Amino acid sequence: MNRNDLRRVDFHLLVVFETLMHERSVTHAAEKLFLGQPAISAALARLRHLFNDPLFVRAGRTMEPTSRALEIYRHLHPALDSITQALSTTQAFDPFTSYSTFRIGLSDDVEFSLFPRLLRQLRYTAPNVTLVIRRANYLAMPDLLHSSDISLGVCCMRDLPADIRCKELRRAYPKVLRADTAPEPLSLETYCSRPHALVSFAGDLSGCIDTHLSKMGCRRKVILAVSDFSCLGALLSGTDIIATVPDYLAAALQTRDKLRTEDVPFEVPAFTLSLAWRSAQDNDPAEFWLRALVQSHFGNSVPPIVA
């Protein structure tokens, strides 16, 4: 096929093909593209004729791509990224008049403690945009970005693929949350002997704090593991349980749930909260604006809200 042959190609079909590669389901692809299932089935039939290959075969409840489909996707995915980027650079973006929908992935600590401030700013500067927030952590972030379920994500990142850009937003330090009224700060011995609540996405009973304690020959007593940071205040209230959380989250929980915060009674390195996005969206004006807003409101230096 040469450039003149491209006139015969309906580029809508290529978007359907990419979505089917991500979703492996006609139903889910139809939902993602806001189309009916018959429209996706008809597009798949045309794709099969175009490439002279079945492309997807039924395997239980999913549709698995053929080897030909995998080869097509390997070339098509970066090409669609390039086309998207080329078209985006020609369009201006006015947040105040925009009706865009932005899909953002946030870890729950970020969603609870930092996102509300950004939302208030968005209601002033971009009153007509729509936000879709997806719960994400470092494990889920690459897949959510690659599938375009989100356009950017914020959490503590690890081992990102080469086509995903990452920018540090802030350095955060752990703080101890406690609900008891004992006036003295916790010593290392008391810290280890008190019952602990731990937030764990995978249901583990240990984390980075336990790694540092182990290096010191110490061990804490974790008696509760939950999957969500925002519930910690209610769980700690009226008990002697303590929790170790990021400083920005400790500040939000302290204000909402009338908890006390204090420094961890041993030296712990800071960790990094980062912003990630696909490199193909570097020059998209709308995404560039959104990334700048996230950086200004999620970073260590936060500007005042415009009223």
pLDDT digits (tens, 9 = 90+) for 215-244: 999 999 999 999 888 888 899 999 999 999
| Displacement of CA 235 from its chain's centroid (Å) | 26
- Residues facing residue 156 across a β-bridge: none
User: Whole-prediction pTM value?
Assistant: 0.69
Q: CA-CA distances (angstroms) from residue 16 to 4, 24, 51, 134, 171?
A: 22, 11, 14, 23, 41
pLDDT digits (tens, 9 = 90+) for 145-199: 988 889 999 999 888 888 889 999 999 999 999 998 888 899 999 999 999 999 8
Sign of CA dihedral 243, 178, 231, 122: negative
What is the Cα–Cα distance from 11 to 14, expressed in whole angstroms?
Answer: 5
And the tokens for 183?
């006036």
Per-residue model confidence (pLDDT) at position 303: 38
CA 47 to chain centre: 32
Instruction: Report DSSP state, residue 8.
Output: G
Gap between the Cα atoms of 260 and 67, Å rounded: 58
Helices (H), 114-246: 115-125, 141-146, 188-193, 208-215, 232-236
Q: How far apart are CA 16 and CA 285, in angstroms?
A: 25
